[in-house]
């Protein structure tokens, strides 16, 4: 498993890992002087940690795990993290898992770049939003897993509509949190751990077809604001830059009339399959679903790697 360093200014070669089972053990045994992060492409919790490490300019050793390799369930890895999940962070003798706990650890260990506000009310809001971020991923997951796991002809559209409605309620909350505020710790506050906890969930939803326009203008502006951060761009899940996600969260998968026919369900399945052809270049607009921005994601990431300002103005 190759390793690499990363800083806030460059795109890390976080690609590593042929995931040999001895790697986890050796990572621990070597008690490395810089933290080792096991992560997986497309995992929002792992993205939280990658992004915060980059935001804080921490030199770390990122090891990408392929989810289908079985590596996370090897005895060696389970000895480190009995849950067998990413993210897992090894820092000397300390092994940590659970992304939010890792974010707190990083905040204490690397205080030079502060990501929890000092002022008590803003701090409390930041901590509150961090925890709430998991509600957003649960509400999205309810839709995504139902669509993915149900045969198209068996999809119960009234039931699916309910799940969409719950997700919409959840998103309305986040929309309201951003009223008059650029970031989630509240008006006048800068970026904080709350943003790094929430944004990967939002980006996951957008990748899966969530339309931020016209219903969520604050979230849309926030999405673009966060997209312009080098730490976010540099840690963007690599495989998301190469392929579309299945558009499970696009409201277009709901037929206009309830009680869908079999043909309508098959059309839904076919449209979900539209994401299976990887494009050579993913326009930013496909990440945003806004169809406004002509800049490609590849350009955005390349600019970040050169230390330039993001060309994405979408």
Ligand X SMILES: N[C@@H](CCC(=O)N[C@@H](CS)C(=O)NCC(=O)O)C(=O)O
205 binds ligand X, rule: CB under 6 A: no
Cβ proximity to ligand X: between 200 and 209 the closer is 200
Q: Print burial letters for 102-117: b (CB count within 10 Å at least 16), e (below 16).
A: bbbbbbeebeeeebbb
Distance CA 139, CA 170 (A): 7
87 binds ligand X, rule: CB under 6 A: yes
Least Å distance, CB 68 to ligand X, is 9
Q: Which of 72, 155, 282, 301 binds ligand X (CB under 6 A)?
A: 72
Q: Which of 1, 36, 86, 185 binds ligand X (CB under 6 A)?
A: 86
Cβ proximity to ligand X: between 42 and 152 the closer is 42
Sign of the CA dihedral 153, 166, 276, 255?
positive
Task: Specify the pairing of strand 61-64 against strand 88-91.
Answer: unpaired
Cβ proximity to ligand X: between 43 and 231 the closer is 43
Cβ proximity to ligand X: between 170 and 175 the closer is 170
200 binds ligand X, rule: CB under 6 A: no
Cβ proximity to ligand X: between 86 and 122 the closer is 86
**Helix crossing, 44-55 with 99-109: angle to 10°?**
10
In order of 141, 152, 279, the CA distances from 156 in angstroms are 17, 9, 31
Q: In what order do the strands lie in the sheet with 88-91?
A: 61-64, 36-39, 88-91, 94-97
Distance CA 231, CA 192 (A): 13
Least Å distance, CB 143 to ligand X, is 16
The residue range among 80-88, 159-167, 226-234, 275-283 that interacts with ligand X, by the rule CB under 6 A, is 80-88
Q: Which of 45, 62, 237, 275 binds ligand X (CB under 6 A)?
A: 45
The residue range among 28-36, 81-89, 113-121, 145-153 that interacts with ligand X, by the rule CB under 6 A, is 81-89
Q: Which of 85, 127, 226, 293 binds ligand X (CB under 6 A)?
A: 85
Least Å distance, CB 206 to ligand X, is 16
Cβ proximity to ligand X: between 86 and 210 the closer is 86
43 binds ligand X, rule: CB under 6 A: yes
Least Å distance, CB 131 to ligand X, is 11
| 169 DSSP 8-state letter | H
Say how many residues touch ligand X, by CB under 6 A: 11
Cβ proximity to ligand X: between 41 and 189 the closer is 41
Cβ proximity to ligand X: between 155 and 202 the closer is 202
Q: Strand ranges (DSSP E) for the chain?
A: 36-39, 61-64, 88-91, 94-97
299 binds ligand X, rule: CB under 6 A: no
Distance CA 268, CA 152 (A): 7
Cis peptide before 239 (omega within 30 of 0): no
Judged by CB under 6 A, the chain residues 95 through 114 that form the site for ligand X are: 98-99
Half-sphere exposure of 37 (CA within 13 A, CB side): 33
Is residue 284 within 8 A of residue 220, CB to CB? The reply is no
Which residues make up the interface to ligand X (CB under 6 A)?
A: 40, 43, 45, 67, 72, 84-87, 98-99
């Amino acid at each position: 498993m190759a390793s690499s360093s990363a800083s806030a200014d460059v795109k890390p070669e976080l690609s590593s890992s042929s995931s040999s089972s001895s790697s986890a053990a050796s990572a621990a045994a070597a008690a490395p002087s810089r933290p080792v992060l096991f992560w997986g492409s497309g995992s929002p919790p792992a993205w939280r940690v990658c992004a915060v490490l980059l935001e804080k300019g921490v030199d770390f050793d990122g090891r990408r795990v392929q989810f289908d390799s079985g590596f996370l369930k090897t005895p060696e890895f389970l000895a480190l993290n009995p849950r067998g999940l990413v993210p897992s962070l090894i820092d000397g003798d300390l092994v940590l898992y659970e992304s939010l706990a890792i974010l707190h650890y990083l905040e204490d260990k690397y205080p030079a770049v502060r990501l929890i506000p000092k002022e008590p009310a803003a701090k409390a809001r930041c901590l509150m939003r961090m925890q709430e971020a998991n509600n957003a991923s649960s509400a999205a997951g309810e839709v995504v897993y139902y669509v993915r796991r149900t045969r198209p002809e068996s999809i119960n559209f009234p039931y699916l509509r309910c799940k969409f409605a719950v997700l919409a309620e959840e998103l309305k909350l986040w929309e309201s949190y951003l009223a008059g505020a650029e970031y989630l710790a509240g008006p006048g506050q800068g970026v904080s751990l709350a943003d790094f906890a929430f944004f990967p969930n939002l980006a996951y939803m957008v990748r899966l077809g969530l339309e931020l326009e016209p219903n969520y203008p604050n979230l849309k502006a926030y999405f673009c604001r966060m997209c312009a951060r080098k730490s976010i761009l540099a840690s963007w899940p690599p495989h998301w830059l190469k392929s579309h996600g299945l558009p499970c969260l696009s409201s277009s998968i709901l037929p206009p009339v309830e009680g869908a026919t079999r043909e309508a369900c098959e059309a839904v399945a076919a449209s979900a399959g539209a994401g299976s052809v990887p494009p050579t270049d993913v326009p930013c607009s496909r990440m945003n679903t806004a169809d406004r921005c002509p800049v490609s994601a590849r350009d955005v990431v390349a600019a970040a790697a050169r230390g330039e300002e993001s060309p994405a103005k979408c």
